């Protein structure tokens, strides 16, 4: 399975923190993280499907998924599970072409590289459409253009995958390429409301318990 970190990591008052935002309501929720939680989230590679997480780390991840901090998706045929939303947080500019795609930069000053199809995903990111919707739109547009058919056939021949499978894998590479980039974040389509706030008054506000699970 794939494990995708959502939101963005930062420091608040010198402590590691993760913040998620519902793009449709702009509601935000932040959590302070223990060092072990921060390290786990920081190292997640969304393209990997084989993991060596400890049982404790899996408990963290299950709790994070319930809170909308991570998304856990299937190894294959998972495009429909990419319900999270790419949210641009800065103006992004084209710099030039590279062997593997395009070089881009943002008003935050960081230069980064994306493949051709990942650049298409980025071009459709409008803080409203989910990544699943974006991948489907890119596929539909490409298949509708006769001039793209030779390139699609080459992709299928070289990768041994259908074009749809290739775009699914490319979606996870797109997420990986933007890890830690403040110009764009991937946000849950809605922030889960899992517990009644009245039942959590004994917990430190905004801080996850050591298990990573929301309080019972």
Per this entry, what is the length of the chain?
A: 216
Instruction: Identify the band that residue 110 occupies on the pLDDT scale cut at 50, 70 and 90.
Output: confident
HSE, side-chain direction, 13 A CA sphere, residue 175: 30
What is residue 213's predicted lDDT score, i.e. its pLDDT?
A: 47
Q: Residue 138: its pLDDT value, please?
A: 98
- Kindly report, residue by residue over 117-152, the tens digit of the pLDDT: 999 999 999 999 999 999 999 999 999 999 999 999
Tell me the average pLDDT of the chain: 87
Cα gap 210→216, rounded to integer Å: 13
Spatial separation of the C-alpha atoms in residues 136 and 139, rounded to whole Å: 5
Burial of 7 from C-beta contacts in 10 A (0-12 / 13-18 / 19+)? buried
Order of strands, sheet of 92-97, starting from the edge strand that comes earlier in the sequence: 92-97, 101-106, 111-115
Q: How far apart are CA 188 and CA 128, in angstroms?
A: 11
Residue 188 has pLDDT above 80, yes or no: yes
Give the Å distances, CA to CA, from 146 to 123, 156, 165. 21, 16, 20
The residue among 99, 98, 102 whose CA lies nearest residue 117 is 102
Q: In this predicted model, what pLDDT tens digit does every residue of 64-101 receive, in sequence order?
A: 999 999 999 998 888 999 999 999 999 999 999 998 89
- Residue boundaries of the structural domains of the chain: 2-83+189-200, 85-186
- Percentage of the chain beyond pLDDT 90 is 71
| Nearest in space to 60 (alpha carbons), one of 135, 132, 3 | 3
Model-level pTM? 0.86
Among 175, 153, 171, 170, smallest CA distance to 162 is for 153
């Amino acid at each position: 399975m794939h494990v995708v970190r959502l939101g963005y990591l930062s420091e608040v008052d010198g402590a590691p923190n993760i913040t998620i935002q519902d793009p449709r309501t702009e509601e935000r929720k932040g959590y302070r993280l223990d060092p072990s939680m921060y390290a786990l989230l920081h190292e997640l590679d969304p393209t990997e499907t084989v993991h060596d997480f400890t049982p404790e780390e899996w408990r963290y991840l299950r709790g994070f998924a319930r809170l909308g901090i991570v998304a856990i998706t299937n190894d294959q045929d998972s495009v429909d599970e990419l319900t999270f939303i790419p949210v641009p947080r800065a103006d992004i500019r084209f710099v030039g072409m590279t062997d593997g795609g395009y070089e881009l930069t943002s008003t935050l000053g960081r230069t980064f590289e994306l493949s051709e199809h990942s650049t298409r995903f980025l071009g459709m990111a409008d803080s409203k459409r989910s990544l699943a919707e974006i991948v489907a739109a890119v596929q539909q547009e490409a298949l509708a253009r006769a001039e793209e058919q030779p390139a699609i056939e080459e992709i299928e021949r070289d990768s041994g995958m259908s074009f749809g499978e290739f775009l699914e894998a490319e979606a996870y590479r797109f997420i990986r390429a933007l890890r830690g980039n403040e110009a764009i974040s991937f946000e849950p389509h809605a922030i889960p409301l899992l517990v009644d706030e009245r039942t959590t008054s004994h917990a430190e506000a905004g801080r996850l318990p050591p298990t990573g699970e929301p309080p019972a």
